[in-house]
Amino acid sequence: MKEADFRDNETLELFKKSGGNILLTTVDAMIDWGRSNSIWPLTFATSCCGIEMMATGASRHDFARFGIEVYRASPRQADVIVVAGTVVNKMAPVLKRLYDQMSDPKYVIAMGACAVSGGPFYYNSYHVVRGVDHVIPVDVYVPGCPPRPEALLYGVMQLQRKIRLESMSSPRQTVELK
Amino acid sequence: MKEIINLPVKNVEEEEYHINMGPQHPSTHGVLRLVVSLQGEIVKNLKPHCGYIHRGIEKMCEKDTYPQIIHLTDRMDYLSAHINNHAVCLLVEKALEVEVPERVKYIRTIVDELNRIASHQLWWCSFGMDMGGLTCFFYGLRDREKILDIFEESFGSRLLHSYYTPGGLMMDIHPDFQKNVKAFIKYFRKKIKDYDDLLTGNVIMQLRTKGVGILSKEDAISYGVTGPSGRASGFSCDVRKHHPYGVYDKADFKEILGTTGDTFERYMMRMHEMHESMKIIEQLIDNIPAGDYTAKMKAVLKLPAGEYFQRVEAARGELGVYVVSDGNKSPYRMKFRSPNFSNLSVLDHISRGCKIADLVAIGGSLDYVIPDIDR
Amino acid sequence: MDNAVLKERILGLVPDAEYQENKQFLTFIIPPAKMHELAFKLKSESDLAFDYLFCLTGVDMVKFLEVVYHLESTTHQHQLELKVRTDDRVNGAVDTVCDIWRTAEFHEREIFDLLGIRFTNHPDLRRLFLEEDWIGHPLRKDYVDEVNIVEL
């Protein structure tokens, strides 16, 4: 992503908030800078996209440059859940439980065509959930089958941009899905 | 003087308790739920619960045409994706009695072997990581990137290519393919010595794997364990030798059999297999004949009515494809005999009496890929 | 042992086995009651020695349900295909062979899950892939799922 695009948050109409206190804005900027550069994901790889996620963490396309230092095995300690792979009917309650166990603020990246919309299994499969956003709210969608590691890194940078827009005055709360 | 109170002393025996190595676990290599019944730290019983990635591929195949099924087979055992494709392509070609050009057979064999090396590299890196040696993760993936570069140059994608089609290949290989493969072999022969230095000779690794998870030859045959896990127990099951396909009959390679069938032996089998694969590639890479990259096929492929079966040697064992056709462009019933399904069924049998930490080592040495189990 | 001798042998063991034409394997249709006994003999007799069951499939031919066994001998290198049919689509049952070939345990659970064929004397016959409370058997031809499956 070009640096100009990365820093250009003003044009994101969707996320525009009303102007805040100048002091709070500087504090917000610093806190959000810290949070966006240190996102720790949960190990959740169901199928083929998991291999590309591992490859992104390996030495060539290094995840750790972007602050994703380690993978946490326990959902209580993780910030983001990267849903890499197909989610099926049997796995959906497990995913929901994992998401509920994560503590706020939490984010979700849907990686791969299967997590975005069901992917190659959209037609004629009796057991696949067509897109992980039927189960948990998603922040960033990364398409591809499987997406290249560079694509996943682009997705992570988009998430970083999203985090930088948050403010202490209206902290991110998870909406309870019924 | 204090009164000594005699309390009734209960004979405290350790009771069995069940723990759940749940679907989301760093070292189950996917979404597999193991309900392990433990007594202290010893495993008494183990029940695998599959189905957390069951996508219904066999039902989907009944609605797709044969070229479309190739794309689905990629996603079953995604680490040996080409070999899965190869099985379906061979089946369709045999049923339609189509003769593919020699060039296609050579390229398919070479790419299959490259895929096998890539799969074993990934196995090695996750095996080391599960046992605690995180360096293995980086070494294995670094070297795997070189193979993925070759694939990307010729086929356009890193992991799932769907490069083989019934009748031949999607497109011809890149002109630099042979040069790059030869450079890779030279590079990897040096690096595989590092692998041996790092993990094979490591005292901790040897203590954790020697004598653990022993599988006898009769059990291996009865449970249908094939591939490197079966060969480690002495079961000679290499489909490339018994029912050759491609140009494996022109290449000279050994089928190495083990004796004890323990975890260390299964580990060594895969290291040997990487060497043998490199030998096969070296023998074939310079002799790729010129020619077409595909035979002439009709636009719509309809297999004549009847049954067909094709066996190939995937990276993890014997993959079988069984098709019952009624003359249409989609199969009536398509069944994949997946190697990981049988390999998993033996996990209960060989891990009785081991400690729970050994379970991770045994599971890593059996090398199962869960989407292939659940299809 | 070549196919002609093998054919005589099998017909000798089970006279009412029906031979079926097949280009690839020697194929017989065995009555369900005789299957277990034949399987035991196939494994234990030393000149047959079929110790490797390499594929166990269930097929839904609409008029009947079929279980297909593909066997190989690791010592003699001959192969065989056996089929067992049952007409009963509701409670069709076939004898299990998992006491002879241990690999059949999981395969038979899969066939029960996806096709609904029961296996008598199986140690643990329950669904393998789908949830315990799933209704229906997906691989059957009359399985209806309006939401997911597109009928063209």
Condensed to tens digits (0 to 9), the pLDDT of residues B122-173 reads: 888 888 888 877 888 888 888 888 888 888 888 888 888 888 888 888 888 8
Question: A residues 30-49 near B, CB within 8 Å?
Answer: 42-48
- CATH number for C97: 3.30.460.80
- In this prediction, residues B195-215 reach a mean pLDDT of 84
What confidence score (pLDDT) does residue B369 get? 85
Provide ipTM, 2 decimals. 0.89
Q: How sure is the predictor about A178, in pLDDT bands with cuts at 50, 70 and 90?
A: very low
* CA B32/CA B53 separation, integer angstroms: 9
Give me the mean pLDDT over the A144-155 stretch. Answer: 88
pLDDT, residue A51, reads 86
Question: What average pLDDT score do residues C49-75 get?
Answer: 87
Distance of residue B225 Cα from the nearest chain A Cα, in angstroms: 23
Domain contains C139? no
C41 belongs to a structural domain: yes
> Which residue, among C113, C92, C41, has the nearest Cα to C71 in the 3D structure?
C41
Q: Domains plus CATH for chain B?
A: 53-374 (1.10.645.10)
Nearest CA among B151, B144, B147 for reference residue B170: B151
Cβ(B37)–Cβ(B46) under 8 Å? yes
- Does residue C16 lie within any of the structural domains? yes
Contact criterion met (CB below 8 Å) for A85 and A45: yes
Residues 6+ apart with CB under 8 A from B41: B355, B356, B357
Q: Measured between beta carbons, which residues in chain C are less than 8 angstroms from residue A89?
A: 131
Backbone dihedral angles phi then psi of residue C13, each to the nearest 5 degrees: -75, -40
Nearest CA in chain A to C114: A126
Q: Does residue B310 surpass a pLDDT of 70?
A: yes
Provide the pLDDT for residue C131.
84
Residue C74 is part of which domain span? 3-120
- Torsion-angle region of B367 (φ positive above 0: left; ψ -120 to 50: alpha; else: beta): left
Q: What is the mean pLDDT of residues B273-298?
A: 86
Say how far apart CA B127 and CA C111 lie, in whole Å. 32
Mutation target for B interface from C29, C69, C103, C122: give the one with most B CBs within 10 A: C103
Does residue C95 fall inside a structural domain? yes
Q: What is the pLDDT of residue B26?
A: 65
Per the structure, the count of domains in chain C is: 1
Determine the pLDDT at residue A16.
Answer: 47
Residue type, C42: L
Q: Do A89 and C138 touch (CB under 8 A)?
A: no
**Residue in C2, C109, C149, C51 with CA at minimum distance from that of residue B225:** C51
Residues 6+ apart with CB under 8 A from B226: B235, B237, B317, B318, B339, B342, B343
Between the alpha carbon of residue B37 and those of residues A105, B182, B209, C103, C143, the distances in Å are 36, 50, 22, 22, 37
Q: How far apart are CA B291 and CA B107, in angstroms?
A: 11
Q: Identify the band that residue C32 occupies on the pLDDT scale cut at 50, 70 and 90.
A: confident
Q: Whole-model pTM? A: 0.87
- The verdict on a CB contact (< 8 Å) between A89 and C150 is no
Asked whether residue C38 is domain-assigned, the answer is yes
pLDDT surpassing 60 at residue A36: yes
Q: Half-sphere exposure of B21 toward its Cβ, with a 13 Å CA cutoff? A: 22
- Within-domain flag for C145: no
A60 at interface of C, judged by CB pairs closer than 8 A: no
The yes-or-no verdict on residue A14 having pLDDT over 50 is: no
Whether the per-residue pLDDT at C66 is higher than 80: the answer is yes
Please state whether C117 falls in left (phi above 0), alpha (psi between -120 and 50) or beta. beta
% residues pLDDT > 90 (chain A): 1
Mutate to test the interface with A, among B50, B55, B84, B373 (most CBs of A within 10 A): B55
Task: Tell whether the model's pLDDT for residue A10 goes beyond 60.
Answer: no
Q: Distance between CA B84 and CA B315 in Å, rounded?
A: 10
Specify if C81 maps to a domain.
yes
Q: Does A89 touch chain C (CB under 8 A)?
A: yes
Q: What's residue A13's pLDDT?
A: 44
- Say if residue B302's pLDDT is above 50: yes
Going by their DSSP bridges, the two strands C52-61 and B168-169 should be labelled as unpaired
Q: Is residue C14 part of a domain?
A: yes
> What's the mean pLDDT when you consider all of chain B?
85
- Closest chain B residue to A98, measured at CA: B24
* Touching B: C residues 41-60, CB under 8 Å: 51-55, 57, 59-60
Cβ partners under 8 Å of residue B100, min gap 6: B93, B167, B168, B294, B295
Tens of pLDDT along C76-96?
Answer: 888 888 888 888 888 888 888
What is the average pLDDT across A122-150? 87
Query: Which pLDDT score, from 0 to 100, does residue A9 have?
Result: 59
pLDDT digits (tens, 9 = 90+) for B182-195: 999 999 988 888 88
Asked which of A9-23, B55-69, C95-109 is least confident by mean pLDDT, the reply is: A9-23
